[in-house]
Amino acid sequence: MGCADTCAAALIDPQIGQVDRYLGLAARDGLRIRYVIDTHTHADHFSATRELARSLGVPVVMHRASPAPFVDMRVDDGEMVVVGRLRIGVLHTPGHTCDSMCLVVEDRVFTGDTLLIRATGRTDLPTGNPEALYESLFHGILRLDPQLKVFPAHEYQGRGHSTLGQELAENPRLQRRDRDSFVDMMRNLNLTMPTHITEALRTNMSGGKIIAQLLAEAAAHIPFMSLQELKSHIGLQDELIVLDVREREAYETGHIPGARLLPRGQLELRVNEELPDPTRRIITYCEFGRISTLAAATLREIGFQRAVALDGGMKAWREAGFPVAT
């Protein structure tokens, strides 16, 4: 959201896979992002707040109860964040998580995962509490102006927004207005766990990197070689070293003819004895092409400037019908 008068903007609940999209939208609308805000510690997606804050030189804003050590501005109930002429009012709304908050701006409320369109945030994840969610909803945001537009952190049905009045009337979970009935319903939703919940919590709480991010960063710094190009080198006495970075059992089951075995877990410890000439051309491969990407990036980082990775892996090599040695 942005202030048209000052061109200042805030980005709420950004996802790591959408960073370029956010920056493109801000540029399109002539806005400069001044704050990145997470309404809570997410367990169902990977937050981009830390990455964006670093690249843009702006603060990360979260509730004071957030466990994340990289938060620059910790806010509390009743406080405001100023974005140009906009005033973002903070409401602490624990329940989905202990650090959940909703943000009220003019005619709308950004509800995070506290209130969704025709649903509410779940309370069975770490620091979730159904009693606290009941208080946050019925004694908190639902007492605001019913005309306020509701913009949740997630909306999977393609609906742009709702209003507090519509949610009070039509949200099936909000029809349980008795505290005990609501708590009992929340305790018995029996929802499946979000994908990558452990990795999401780990990275969102610590500011660490997700595996996909490590792979993307590695891939951005190395060249690749196609399966067909590598096949053309098989049997030739040229300078190319083919390095299988899988474990021994996988190598012995089937490998690219002429490949040497140097498992990724032993790469740094054995590289000097196995690869004494840093000027040699080296191609790494694994089963699916991910570990070999990391291996090639590591080789380049420690001085093997001609290291490349196979575009694909042993699985793709077999499927292409190329020769396999055992």
Contact yes or no for 253/269 (Cβ under 8 A): no
Please report, in tens digits, the pLDDT of each residue of the chain (326 residues total): 999 999 999 999 999 989 999 999 999 999 999 999 999 999 888 899 999 999 999 999 999 999 999 999 999 999 999 999 999 999 999 999 999 999 999 999 999 999 999 999 999 999 999 999 999 999 999 999 999 999 999 887 888 899 999 999 999 999 999 999 999 999 999 988 877 888 888 888 887 888 888 888 899 999 999 999 999 999 887 889 999 999 999 999 999 999 999 999 999 999 999 999 999 999 999 999 999 999 999 999 999 999 999 999 999 999 999 999 99
Q: What are the φ and ψ backbone dihedral angles of 295, each rounded to 5 degrees?
A: -65, -45
CA distance 253 to 236: 23
User: Taking the chain, what is the end-to-end CA distance rounded to the nearest angstrom?
Assistant: 59
pTM: 0.74
pLDDT score of 44: 83
Tokens linked to 40? 């809570």
pLDDT score of 202: 85
Contact yes or no for 110/151 (Cβ under 8 A): yes
pLDDT score of 196: 81
CA distance 93 to 63: 10
CA distance 162 to 108: 10
pLDDT score of 209: 81
CA distance 85 to 126: 36
What SS3 class is residue 96? coil
Tokens linked to 296? 């090639």
pLDDT score of 154: 87
Packing angle, helices 130-138 and 179-187, rounded to 10: 130
